[in-house]
Amino acid sequence: MGNMLRRRQLEHVFDAAQNIRRCLPTTYTSLTGIGRLSILPELDEPVQSTLHQIIQQCVTPGTPCLDTNCRGVLSHTGMCSELCHQHGRNAVDDLLLCENCDYHGFPCPNCSATILQKQIKPLYDD
């Protein structure tokens, strides 16, 4: 089994995670790319473990898609059987590559709702 991230990338995520607090959006709103994964320790189950499994490319068979509006199941690499991901691969790629998060702050309303199940809210949540 592979891993989506290299060791140096994982170290960056772990270092950044020490400064993230769910209750303080200013600690995560400016995160970009790989740095967005530093919110993982702040997430509740099953979102946290599902994203960890996707990163490790060893998703448990039968794991439901993170998007609660989707009825799909994830492959071992995290690809949804309903192909609901924006960037076509998996939820982790969607978080890392989201242009709305790049322009409006992390997480954008879509990533907050569909991937993070509203556990991490946008800075300006309506």
Stretch (H or E) spanning 106: none
Q: Which of 68, 80, 4 is nearest to 37 (CA)?
A: 4
How does pLDDT run across 65-117, given as a tens digit for each residue? 999 999 999 999 999 999 988 876 899 999 999 999 999 999 999 999 999 99
When pLDDT is averaged across residues 15-39 and rounded to a whole number, the result is 92
**Is the pLDDT at 1 greater than 80, yes or no?**
no
| pLDDT confidence band for 18 (50 / 70 / 90) | very high
CA dist 119 and 113 (Å) reads 8
Which of 17-21, 41-45, 83-87 has the least mean pLDDT? Answer: 83-87
CA distances from 51 to 25, 37, 126 (A): 20, 9, 26
Domain ranges of the chain: 7-114
Q: Which residues contact 21 (CB under 8 A, 6 or more apart)?
A: 27, 42
pLDDT at residue 85, rounded to an integer: 84
pLDDT at residue 123, rounded to an integer: 78
Q: Higher-confidence residue: 6 or 38?
A: 38
**Is the pLDDT at 125 greater than 80, yes or no?**
no
How does pLDDT run across 45-59, given as a tens digit for each residue? 999 999 999 999 999
pLDDT at residue 11, rounded to an integer: 85
**Is the pLDDT at 119 greater than 80, yes or no?**
yes
CA dist 77 and 126 (Å) reads 33
